[in-house]
Each structure stands twice: as structure tokens, then as C-alpha cells.
Structure 1
Amino acid sequence: MRRYDLVGRREIRLADDVPVPVPGPLEVLVQVRACTVCNRSDLAYFHYYGLRDHCAQGCFGHEIAGVVERVGPGVTRVRPGQRVFVRTPLTTGYADYAVAREVSVGALPDAIPFEQGAILQLLPLAVHATRGVTLGDRVAVVGQGPVGLMALRMAAARGAAALTAVDLDDWRLERSRLLGADACRRVDGGAGELAGVGEGFDVAIDAVGTPTTLNACVGLVRQNGLVVMLGTHHVDTKVTVDLVTWERKGLRVHSSAEPTDTARAGAMAVAERLAAERADELRLDKILTHVLPLTELPRAVELLSASRALYPDGEPAPYAGPPPKVLKVAIRP
């Protein structure tokens, strides 16, 4: 089979004679029909391989949709021939086949195209990230890339009374309006402008993952408010915070990570129900912007790499914001 591997910093290699992997106990072999490029993890692994230890440990190409080819011993939730989406596989989705643990596989409804279905990898993540949003909350989502937009939809589904979308880019904020934002605030990324978004939010979600955006969320929330770390801190792995402010406000905080299989299974079960019963409300068609063949993965990475978020916070960068008019790029084997 064909497979792209990340073999060095900014170096990916296509092989066309790789053996098809064999699923082990509680594992599933999926014929990949689409794999979307992760705007944060995949790009950070690509640009920081060898510079950040974790960039050689994560799975490059982890947002998959496809058809179950074979199941390993003990698998009961899915069957061969079933359409599925995958969160965090064991092998790359930039290939003809990929292996994933059963707990990371969800049922993909027939009505959702594979290219859009791969985006559903973000759904259990957003479900878990918004677990602290309650009925009537005022929620600010800082960063309107794909994961921020998915968090916006999940906050709405949980009954948030007011949703404020914050981003550097007017085009992305237009997408936010289409996905249900009540208010949109364009900022330049500086701490001053972010602080000007307001205060008194019940929940502030950092969907970018930089020191500036995390600390801005601290300022946005009310006393005893909730700060959610959704954007992954792949580039600035160490963040300085003002603990006096955190203590004075009595803030609550949680991340989006699912630390146990129980949490993963719970978030996946909710994501499967939403995909089956409320797919239209997810507006996946507004998040998918490009579809390319597997051989054009280098072009997809180049397209998405025109992003300020790939450079350390506060350091000079050749880009002022996100790549223009690009959200999700699907790779189709």
C-alpha cells in the first residue's frame, strides 16, 4: 500500500510498497477514504520534528474517515464494511489503510461524505472540551479555526445563551456567523485587543494554544469562571500565568484531553449520536475548504503552513494571521 511518513523536520516521504498493517486485539483496520490535515498537531509535528520531543511521538495524519476492512480479536462495536471516522489512530491516515483502537472509532452515517466525515475527529474533542458549558452560559471562543468552530457548535448544543467568536481573520469570522456565533470580534492578536473583547464571560475557550490567548481567556471570564484549554500548546510548550489573578478570581480550568479510555468512550458515544441525529447542525460543509489527492499532501501542508500560529508567541513571523480562506484540507487516497 501507499503511505506518507514524517521522516525529518519538514520532510515527508511517500512509499508505495508498505505492507498493509494487521489489527491486533481490540484494534480495527480501516481502508482510508479521507484524512484531513490537522491545522495544529500535524503542522507542528512537521515544522518542529527534532526540536520538540513530542513532535516525534504523535501520529502524523490522525483525522480519518473510511471503511472497516478487518477487525482484531475482541472487537464488538464495529464490523467489516462499516463506514467510520477515527480519532487518534495508531498509524497514519496519509495511507491506503490505517489501524486504530476500537475505542477511537465511531460510526459514520451514510449521509456524511468521507471528506467531511474525517473532520468528525474533532467532534469528541469538542464534546469533552465543552463539558463545563451549562445552560444559559455566556461563552467566548478565542480562535476560529476548525476546532474553534466545532467548539462553537458544541457550546450552542449545550445551551449557551450567547456565543462570542474571536479571531484575527474576517473571513473566518464570517464562517463563525454561519455556525451560530451571536457576536464576532476581530482582533490583531495582541493582549490589549484581546482584553477589549470584554469580561464577565462564564466560559472562555482558548482554541489557539498560545501564551497570549490562554492569558487573554483568564481576563475574559468572570469570578469563578471557567477557562478551557482546547488549542494544543505544541509550539510554546511552557506558558507563564499570573497565579495571583487566577487565585483572586477563583478560576476553574480544564483541558480538552481525554485522559482515560472511559472519557474517550463517553465523548465518542456523544459524537456518534450527534453525527447520526444532528449532522446538519455541525455545518461540516462550511469547515471543509479543499480536497486533494494523497500525492498532493506536500501541497496541503504548504498551504496550511502560511500561519502565524506556527511561530513562537511574541517572536517575528512572516504571517500576521491564519492562511487565507483555508480551514480544513482533506487528503483522499
Structure 2
Amino acid sequence: MRRYELVGRRDLALRDVPVPQPGPGEVLIRVGACTICNRSDLVYYHYLGERDHCAQGFFGHEVSGTVEAVGAGVTRTEPGARVFARAPLSGGYADFALVREISVGHLPDQIPFEQGAILQLLPLAVHATRGVRLGDRVAVIGQGPVGLMTLQVLARRGASDIVVADLDPWRLERSRALGAHRTVQTDDAAREDWSALGGEFDVAIDAVGTPYTANACVGLVRHNGLVVLLGTHHVDTHVTFDLVAWEKKGLRIHTSAEPTDPDRAAAMKVAERLAPGIELAPLLSQAYPLERLPEAIERLSASSVLDPAESPRAQAGPPPRTLKLAIVP
């Protein structure tokens, strides 16, 4: 089978490799589509060899397709089933991908594979918003794909006031269509000023993953409020906070990570129930054939968040008029 592999920094190779065989508790998926992660995949591509974590995850982890075969003990799915999957055991820019059963979710028949791969973000958004209560006021910084997915989950959790912020007015148009109560266009040149969002939020969610956006959330929440670190801090892995400010407010914090299999299973169970009602079409910008993966990667690389926070920015913001790109074998 064909599989794109990241063999060096900014160096991709399309190789012919054996089809993986599912072991106990594993599922082999014939890939219908694999969407590009706007953070992990891009950071692996640009920083492989410079940051240790860039060699610890699989390149291409947002997969949808049809179950080809299952290993011993698999009970939640069967050959022929349409599924979406996360955290595969082999790269997803391929004809087939191997996944643990716990990472597989049912894909509704009406959702095309190109959109279905985006559902990998849904369990993440479900787990990230676990501390949101009915009636909460919530601020979300960042309206890329994971921010827009989180916006939809917040509405279903009963948040009474959802205020979102982004650099890109084009993305904020989608936020309004997907249920944001108020949108705020921010200015990357004035990173310390978040006053336009207001304050005293019950929950503030960093859906970007930079030192500036993480610290902004501290300023936005009320006393005893909750800060959620959803965006992955793959570029600036060390973030400095004023812990006196945390102490004065008595803040709580959690991340989006699911540290145990029971956590993963619980988030996937909720995600499967929510999936039929999630708007995915506004998040998909274009589909590319497998051979054009390098072109798609370069398009997404026109992003300011790929540069360290204190360095000169090669880009002024996110890639223009682009959210998710799907790769179709």
C-alpha cells in the first residue's frame, strides 16, 4: 500500500509499505480521508529533529474510512462499518491505517469521509469542555478547526454566553453561523489587550496554544473561574505565568488531554451521540488526492502560530480562507 512518511524536517516520502495486520483489540481501516492537523502535523513537519515530541506522534492522525479487518476481541465495530478514528498506530496518509478499537467511533451514513475525518476533533472538544456547566459564560480564543468544534459543543452543553476571538474575520463569519453569541477580531500586534472580549467569564478556553493566548485566559475569567488549555503548545513548549494572579483569583485549570482509556472511551461515547448534529461542511476547505499532500501542507504552513512567540512572524495570521484540508487516497 501507499503511505506518506515524514522522513526528515520538511521532507516527505511516498513509500510502498506492507498493509498492517490488526492484533488483539486493533482495527484496520481502509482510509477514506485523513485531514491535516493544523497544529500537530504541521509542527512535526517543520520541527522534526528540533523538538523531541515531534518524533513521538504519528504523522496523519485524523482518519475516516471503512473497517477492513478487526483483531481478536474487537466488539465495537466490524468489517464494512463506516468509522472515524483518532490516534492511529500507523500514519493516516495512506491506503490503510491501524487503530486501537477504543479510538474508533461510528460515522453516520450521511457524513462524507472528507468531513468525517474532522470528527477526530469532537471527542477532544467534549473532554475539553467537561468543566462547563449549564448557564456558564465562556470565552474561546481561537476559531480554527478545534475552536469551531468546541464552539458547537459549548452550545450543546448549555453555555449561556459564548464569546469567541480570532485574528481572521473570515473565520469569525463561520463562528457566527455556528452559534457564537459575540465575535471579536483581535490584533496580533496588541497581544496583551483582550479588553474587547469583556471579562468575568466562568470559563476561558485557549484554542490556539501560544503563551499569549494562554495568559489571556487567566485575565478573562472570574474568581474561581476555569482556564482550559485546548490548543497544543507544540511550538512554545514552556509557558510562563504570573502565579500570583492565579493565586489571587483561585483559578482552576485543566487540559484537553485524555490521560486514561476510560477517559477516552467516555469522550468517544458522547462524541458518537453528538456527531449527527455537528456542522462539518463549514470546517472543510478543500480535499486533495494523496499525491498532493505536500501542496496541502505548504498551504497550511502560511500560519503565524508556527513561529515561536518571541520571534519575528513570517505570517500575519492563519492561512487565508482555510480551515481543514482533507487528503483522499
TM-score range, shorter chain: over 0.9
Q: Which runs of 4+ in 1 moved over 4 A?
A: none
- Offset of residue 283 of structure 1: 1.2
2:282 aligns to what?
A: 286
Structure 2: segments with no counterpart, 5+ residues? none
Measured in 1, the distance between the counterparts of 2:87 and 2:195 equals 34
Helix, strand or coil at the partner of 2:192: helix
Following superposition, the deviation at residue 192 of structure 1 comes to: 2.9
2:40 aligns with 41
Q: CA RMSD in A?
A: 0.7
Alignment map for 1:83-162 (pairs within 5 Å): 83-162=82-161
SS of alignment partner, residue 193 of structure 1:
coil
Cα displacement (A) at 1:149: 0.4
User: Partners of 1:194 and 1:292 in 2: how far apart?
Assistant: 37
> Equivalents in 2 of 1:192, 1:294: separation in Å?
41
Distance in 2 (alpha carbons) for counterparts of 1:269 and 1:87: 13
Among 322, 326, 329, the residue aligned to 1:326: 322
1:165-217 Cα offsets, whole Å, 9 max, x none, are 10000000001001100100001133333244221011000000000000000
Q: SS in structure 2 opposite 1:131?
A: coil
Measure, in 2, the Cα distance between the counterparts of 1:50 and 1:112. Answer: 37
Q: Provide the residue aligned with 1:27 in structure 2.
A: 26
Is residue 308 from structure 1 mapped to residue 307 from structure 2 by the alignment?
A: no
Task: Give matches, 1:187-226, under 5 Å.
Answer: 187-189=186-188, 190-226=190-226
- Paired residues of 1:195 and 1:219 also in contact (CA < 8 A): no
Superimposed CA distance per residue, residues 100-140 of structure 1 (whole angstroms, 9 cap, x where no aligned partner): 00000001010110000000000000000000111000101
Distance (whole Å) between structure 2 residues aligned to residue 195 and residue 69 of structure 1? 52
CA contact (8 A) 2:192 2:212 kept: no
TM-score in terms of structure 1 length? 0.97
Residue aligned with 1:192, SS: coil
The number of equivalent residue pairs is: 328
CA distance in 2, matches of 1:192, 1:30: 45
Gaps of 5+ in 1: none
Which residue number in structure 2 is paired with residue 74 of structure 1?
73
Distance in 2 between residues matched to 1:192 and 1:239, nearest whole Å: 15
Q: What is aligned with 2:229?
A: 229
1:126, 1:298 → 2: CA distance?
28
Whole-angstrom distance in 1 between the partners of 2:327 and 2:172: 25
CA contact (8 A) 1:4 1:95 kept: yes
- 1:328 positional shift: 0.2
Instruction: Indicate if the aligned counterparts of 2:307 and 2:314 stay in contact, CA closer than 8 A.
Output: no
The separation in 2 between residues aligned to 1:151 and 1:218, in whole angstroms, is 19
User: Aligned partners of 1:84, 1:194: CA distance in 2, in Å?
Assistant: 40
Q: Does 1:274 align with 2:270?
A: no
Residue equivalent to 2:246? 246
